[in-house]
Every structure is written in C-alpha cells, then in structure tokens.
Structure 1
Amino acid sequence: MADAKETDQAPQIAAEDFFKVEMRIGRIAAAEPFPEARKPAYKLTIDFGDFGTRRSSAQLTALYAPEDLVGRLVVAATNLGTRRIAGFTSEVLVLGCLEAGGGVALLQPDRDVPLGARIH
C-alpha cells in the first residue's frame, strides 16, 4: 500500500508559474559536514560555470559521504532567494528525490553537460 504522502497530489499550477523557476546544472566543488544544522546536512559549494559559484545546505547525509559528492553534477533551483540555516546562507536548492528509507537521491544529467546550463 502506498504511503499517504506519496499519493497526495500538489495543487495544479499554470505552466507559466513552473517556468519561473530557474534550474541550472552545477558541479559540486566542495562538501563539508554541517553539524550546526537541526537535521543532518552538508554545506555545498557548487560551480555553475559562467553563472558563478553558489552555496547550499543539503540534507544528503543518509546516502552520500562528502568525498562522494565532490565532482558530481547536480540540478539546482537558482532563483528562490536565500535562506539562513544555522548561520549559513544557502543560495540555491539542490534537487533530489526522497527515497522510501528517507534518504535524498540527487537528480543529475545522464551525461556531461556545460556548467550553468539551464533546465528546460
């Protein structure tokens, strides 16, 4: 039987609203533990090529060690504003899928693509 959270559907939105979210490809340049965060997380530094370098707090500790993240391509929402998390400024939201065990599996392209490339 499916978990109730999995079967709940989000409200419908217009395609124009979805297209306002800017998603880009980045490469994780650094990953370090973030013990000050309420939930286990890492501080990530992500290279978006010509778009620049941004930082993110990401709850990826269940499935990834910091050394496994460095060099990995990721998809991130880049225009959601910043959030302060335990004194750290998170500038982008790294996208992932919640697994049944509670871990977050990263979304990533299946081939090498230019850093900063926009998702369409």
Structure 2
Amino acid sequence: MRIGELATEAGVSVRALRYYEEQGLLAATRSNSGQRLYAAAAVDRVQLIQNLYAAGLASRTIAELLPCVDAKESTPESRARLAAERDRIDGQIAELIETRDRLDAIIELTERPEHSGCSIH
C-alpha cells in the first residue's frame, strides 16, 4: 500500500509515517517510480508505535525495543527496559489519580450552595 493509504488506515499523518521511517521504526520499499510501498502489516506496526509514543516512550527507546518485538523474543536487558518503562507509567498513573482525587474534592466542595460566587468563562 502507498503512504497515503497507510496513513488513512492507521489514522496518522503522512508526515508521521515519514518521521517513523527516518527514526528506523518503520520500513518501506520503493516502487520503480520511487513511491513508498508498505506491507499490510504496517498498519499494526504504526498502531504499536503510536501506543508506545502515547505511553511516553521516546523514539530511541522504541527503536531499541522493536527488534525484540519483531523477533518475538526478549533479552534480560529488554525485559528490564520494559519493566522500567512500566514502572514509570505506573508512577504517572498514581500521580494522575492523586490529581483527579484532588479535583473531585474541589468539585465536591464547590457544589455546596455557600460556594457559588466564582464564575469561569
């Protein structure tokens, strides 16, 4: 499939796909006319890359981990790296839960009739 088709199917921009290719995260072949061509499996690859970015992993980390993903194997180093990333995400989740709980407390406090003087536009 061509780059525009992949972008549409994966829900990303063409620019993002070019960036992934520059970072070594995504590979394409070239047609005789020089157009990028991707295998159907590239849709899943792009979605995995998107998920890893959304989890806060950097391009470099993703590039280091993808060969293990591709080989469906892991090393002690890759497992340790993934565990460290998981722990970092767990910390972010804990912070977000704490922030949400604080917002809930403020909402509860401000729902009381005696606290109706503030307006936000």
TM-score of Structure 1 vs Structure 2, range by shorter chain: under 0.3
Q: With the length of structure 1 as denominator, give the TM-score of the two structures.
A: 0.26
Q: Which has the higher helix share?
A: 2
Higher Cα radius of gyration: 2
| TM-score (norm: length of structure 2) | 0.26
